[in-house]
Each structure stands twice: as structure tokens, then as C-alpha cells.
Chain A
């Protein structure tokens, strides 16, 4: 199984292919979102909406045999791509691994200029919520 940093490095390599072409980066992000496994509609309830996002984003955690899986969806494609990146990195990881992650890919792919400050805040909200879930399951054990 690839490590968290293996996956981050792959993401960095993929985005670097587009150099400064912002439109292509966004299209690529949308494609990543399209590949996200479908979310159980029953899990798209208000309590699983990420706070602070302009778009609607749902993240539903499933704790299974010591590691976490995430179901996620969004009503906008770019945001769905953003949450899909996090799912890609953190699916099937232990709460400890999630909590210890340094998400260095964010600055390396130039996320700030790609999605702007408002969506960056929303993205930070997704990260925070997924870590809150990890923390809750870690303490539960």
C-alpha cells in the first residue's frame, strides 16, 4: 500500500504537468472529483455538511477495523475535486496517521492561487472536520 506521502507526491507530479495553466488545473480537479466513489444519499444529511464552505460539501466517516474511510460529495465539481484529493490521501488510514499528516501537497501545487481565499477557507474546513473525525475515533478506542 502506498504511503500518504507517496500519494501526495503523485498529486504534486500530476499538477506540475499543467505548469501555470490554471484552467487545465481546474479541469483536472473536476476530473478527480468525477472519479470519487458515489456517496450513499442517506449520508448526505445536514449534520455531515462541512461548515464554512460556499458550496455544499458532505463528508461521512466510517470506522472499520482500526482505519477510517470517507464518503464525500459536493454540489459543485471543483469542490468535489478538492474533497476527493483528501479522500484519496486519507482513505483507509488510521486516525493517528491522519492526525500526524503534513499536507505539504497543498502549497506545492499552488492551491491558494488556484482556488482563491474563500475556497481555501472552505478547504481548510474540510481538513479540520476530517481530523475531528479521526480524533473522535482515536479517543473512542
Chain B
């Protein structure tokens, strides 16, 4: 594939960006909820159903073989993308939520006993909180939380103090979906390993913004989302170290995950199939390869530089005195191109609707992080999140629309 040279060229790969919303050109700033999909991903989804639709790993016919080859080639590229030791350590799931549920239910149940501790942060998405609440209730383990500071960063000193030999599992979000903060996971992983705990990383918001190297990080598990990484919805990845995955009992049972089935018992398949019960979302997996290719072709460094320039332009604009009604939530500078804020004097739902009237898509609400919102003493925020296809002109237009809203508040 030819190198992609300009943002205009990148935009041309995303047909949806030409949509008109309420008579205005769409300005899509809700990328942390889901990114748009490049045409290569959309074509791959269609092509699978047009030409290759067959179930994988089973039949001897040509279509089944074509589908299986494509399906497994995504796994191969994924291995390179996150630098896993082997592709069998990459398990396809429904999404990050299922990846975390899988680890909590399978690994959690395997190792947790009454009195053990599971350590999370106060900024977790409900997906990395509720599964651990449930397994702790079931096993008698106790949930502990790394506190966060007023700027939206975790208190690393407190984190290191709270990591003690009773902690068996640490599950931490790499990048906060609500605040954009990048957490110091390498330090946490090292400290957790020093006392023998295993570490799960929720990389839902990380993978589209910077390069992942699971071996360098030495994390034990990592959850990745396809749809936040320019790929289709309904698909995620669980990375796990082989020795852990092999020791873990299956999560769901049925087709594909078995080796031999007798009426009274069964033996289980090898990795990764042991954890891929049932017919997977084949089209999504095949198309996800195009998303990984898209990000690889542009390069994480180019993405990071462009997104930072957008974020800096937004921050510079919003700090002007005319925006004195905007209160930023999450001000730690070590973050991705995501900003939550309140418009003082107007509910975030109203702000979201007024922006939508101008064609601007942002997220409003609690961002599935209710404990975090409570910590800040708010119900929710407006969240703008930028991606590689956003432009400086869109930031200007967004700022102008916000200015108009602020001007209305007496």
C-alpha cells in the first residue's frame, strides 16, 4: 500500500465524514466512543459476505478454507501489532467488556480466595469494575482502589503503597475514557509483579493512539477493542500470556472450544480456540485486519503528532477568557487527545444537543464511569475526542459553536 501523505487523503478514506447532519457538515468528535471506519474495512466486510461467506475451521470446501485463512491472518497481524510472543495468545472476543469478563470469571475464579485483594483505580470504566465486583462477591476477595488526584491522574505513591502481598490481580485502565489521562502502567506492572500479582490492562482507549508492546510492558492480560481502533463493532481481543491462558478453565463452552466430546465429559481445544466458543464474528475479524493495516500504514507516531496538534489547538482556544464558563475536567497534561468539560450554567445534555444542531458529534453523560463522576462531584461532562481524520478547521468550528453556547449563558 502506498504511504498516506495528508489528512485530506486520510479523510477521503472515510465516506461517513461527508455526511450532513442537521443541514451542516458532520464534525465527528466522539472518537473515544467509536472511531469511524475506513473504506478498506467496509469493503472487507462486504467482500466476505459477497465472496467468502463460510464457517471457519470446520469444513473442507474452498470457501471455508478462504474464510479460515483470512480469519487467521488477522490474528497473525494482531500478534505483530501488539508484539505478542505468538498469535495463539490473541483471543477474539465480543469486545473489551467480554475480554475483562473472561479474565475475571476464569482467572479470577481460579486464583481468588477469601481475603485476597483485587486492585483497580477509581477511574475505571464500568466494564473494568462490575466484573470484578461480581467475582469478588463470589470468592470473598476484596476490591481495593488506587485513588486519583484532582487533575485526573492516579496517585502513584498511593498506588505503590497499596500494592501488598494480598493483592492477586491488578486491573487498570491504560488511558481513561472519560478524562484521557495516560496511566503509568509500566510502574504499576513492575510493582505488582514484585509481589506476585498478575496485571490486566484495559487498552480500549490506548490502541488507536500509541504503539503497544505487550512483551516490553510484560502485562499478563490486555483487552483491546476493534471498534475504537477503526475496525468493526462486536469484536475485541484478549491478549494473555500462554502459561496463564493454559492454566485457566474455559469461559464459555460449546462448539470450537472442544477437542473431544463424550456424553458425560469433554476435553478442551488448544489455545486460542479454547476461549473462542461458538461461531465468531468472522466478517468483523477479517475486516479488522484492514483497520490494523490502516493504523500501521499511517504509523502511530504520525497519529500521535497530528492528534496532539489538534488537542493543543483546542486547549489554546478554550483557555481564552471568553470561555470562562468552560470548566475542564481532567487537566493532567499526560493524556491523549480527549477532553472532558462542563459548561457552567448549562446541563451537558443541552450542550450536546446544541452542538449536534451545528453538526458536531460529542459525547455527553457519565461515560460509564459513575464513581469517577461522583469523585468530581458532577453528574457528567461533555467529552470531545479527536482522531487522525479530524482537522484544525474542525477545531475552529467547534470552538466557535461552543463560544455561541457560552454567550447565551447570562
Q: Which residues of A are at the interface with B, using a C-beta cutoff of 8 A?
A: 20, 22-23, 25-27, 30, 54-55, 75-79, 113, 115-116, 119
Contacts and interface: CB of A to CB of B under 8 A. Distances in A.
A54 B354 contact: no
B349 A26 contact: no
Interface in B187-236: none
A119 B404 CA distance: 23
B357 A26 contact: yes
A77 B23 CA distance: 23
Contact of B23 (A20, A26, A27, A115): A20
B347 A26 contact: no
Interface residues of B, number: 13
B408 A78 contact: no
Given A23-B357, A75-B347, 15 more contacts: A22-B22, A23-B354, A23-B358, A25-B357, A26-B357, A27-B354, A54-B349, A55-B347, A76-B347, A76-B349, A77-B346, A77-B350, A78-B350, A115-B353, A119-B353
A25 to B, nearest CB: 8
A14 to B, nearest CB: 17
A76 B353 CA distance: 11
A89 B248 CA distance: 63
A6 to B, nearest CB: 29
16 contacts: A22-B23, A22-B357, A23-B358, A23-B404, A26-B354, A26-B357, A27-B354, A54-B349, A75-B347, A77-B347, A78-B349, A78-B350, A78-B353, A79-B349, A115-B353, A119-B353
Contacts of B349: 54-55, 76, 78-79
Contacts of B22: 22, 113
Nearest to A20: B23
A22 B22 CA distance: 7
Residue of B353, B358, B404 most packed against chain A (CB within 10 A): B353
B213 to A, nearest CB: 41
Contacts of B346: 77
Contacts of B353: 26, 78, 115-116, 119
B403 to A, nearest CB: 13
A25 B353 CA distance: 11
A116 B356 CA distance: 10
Residue of B23, B349, B350 most packed against chain A (CB within 10 A): B350
Contacts of A27: 354, 408
Contacts of B404: 23
Interface in B340-384: 346-347, 349-350, 353-354, 356-358
A89 B205 CA distance: 47
Contacts of B357: 22-23, 25-26
A113 B357 CA distance: 10
A30 B358 contact: no
